[in-house]
Amino acid sequence: MRLRLRRGWILSVLPAVLWAPQLGAQEDLRQIHSERSQYRQVLVYENKDLRCLCFTRMCMIGRQSCADRHAADRLVFEYARMMLGALFLRPDPHDVLIIGLGGGTLAHTMEKLLPQAQIDVVEIDPAVLRVAQQYFSFQPDDRVHVTIEDGRAYVRRMLRGNKRYQLIMLDAYERQYIPEHMLTREFLTEVRSLLTSDGIVAANTFSSSRLYQNESVTYRAVFGPFYNLKSNNRVIMAANGPLPSLDEVSRNSRAFSEAFRPFGLTPDSVLTLFSTREDWDPKARVLTDQYSPANLLNSRGF
C-alpha cells in the first residue's frame, strides 16, 4: 500500500450530490459516527438498507456518499453510474486520477472495472479517508493510491513533473458545491494539460444551479464541444483532442455489458443520457480566477 499524506489548500475536495435516495423516516436513522475535522462535521448514518456519509445532522441535505448494506458493489447514486460513461470515450485507461474521495465508491468501482489501471485519489480531509476506511470498506493498495492534498495544488504539482493521466474524474465538493477554484478556466486548463493527448475528463456537477450557464461556457472555452449527461446531477465529459463520436461511444459501451452488471446498471442506461446539445447561453461569462462563483452568487440578480 502506498499512502501519501500531504496537507494542501484550505478548501475541501469532497463528492456531493444534489439528490440522493431517501435514507428513510428520520426515526429510522441511526448515527454511528461523528467527528469534527479541520474542515467540517463528518457524520455517518445508516438504516436497514443504506449507510451514508454526511456533513449535516440527520443527512437532511445532499449526502456525500452512500453504500448499499446488502450489495456492496451496487452504485446507489445515479451520478456515479453516469461517471462510468467516461469509459465509453476511453475504454482502457491505465492511469486514472480521481479528485474527491467520499466513501471511496468511484475508486472502488474503477479498480474492479480496470484491473490494469493505476488509480490516484486526491482528498483534502484526512477525516474523510479515515471514515471511508472504517465505515465504507475502502482500502488503498498497490493500485489505488491516496494523497491528502487540495485537488488543484495536486494538479499543479503533477504538471511540474512528467505524470499524465488518460482519465481524470472531478468529484470535488464542499458542503454546498464545487470549490470555486476548481470551476475556473485556469483550473480546467491545468486539468487539460495533465491529460494525455487522447485523455478524457469527467466532471460531476449539478443539472440545475445558478452557475449552470457560466460553468457550461467555461468548459466549452477550454475543451470545445463536450458530452452533457443530465438527470438529477449533470456529468460533463470532454476530451483533450477530438471528441469521440456518438457512434464510437456506442460501440465502446457494448464491451461493458457484463462488467457493469455487479454495479447494478447497464451500458444503455448511461448511453441514453449522452448529448452534445448546448442548452445554455453561449454569451454567459466564463468563470476565471478573478471572476469566481463567489462573486456571482453575491451579485444582485444572479
Angstrom distance (rounded) from CA 155 to CA 157: 5
How many angstroms separate the Cα of 93 from the Cα of each of 106, 111, 132, 192, 297?
Answer: 14, 11, 25, 16, 37
**From 73, 171, 268, 289, the catalytic residue:** 171
Instruction: Check the CA dihedral 126-129-135-140 and report its sign.
Output: negative
Q: Are 14 and 174 in contact (CB under 8 A)?
A: yes
Active site residue 150: no
Our CA dihedral for 65, 84, 180, 4, rounded to 10 degrees, sits at: 70
Beta 165-170 vs 195-206: how paired, if at all?
Answer: parallel
Q: Are 237 and 200 in contact (CB under 8 A)?
A: yes
Instruction: Give the count of beta carbons closer than 10 Å to the beta carbon of residue 58.
Output: 12
Angstrom distance (rounded) from CA 23 to CA 6: 34
Angstrom distance (rounded) from CA 86 to CA 204: 11
Q: Are 181 and 289 in contact (CB under 8 A)?
A: yes
From first CA to last CA, the distance across the chain in angstroms is 47
* Joined grid coordinates for residue 194: 495533465
Q: Which residues are catalytic?
A: 171
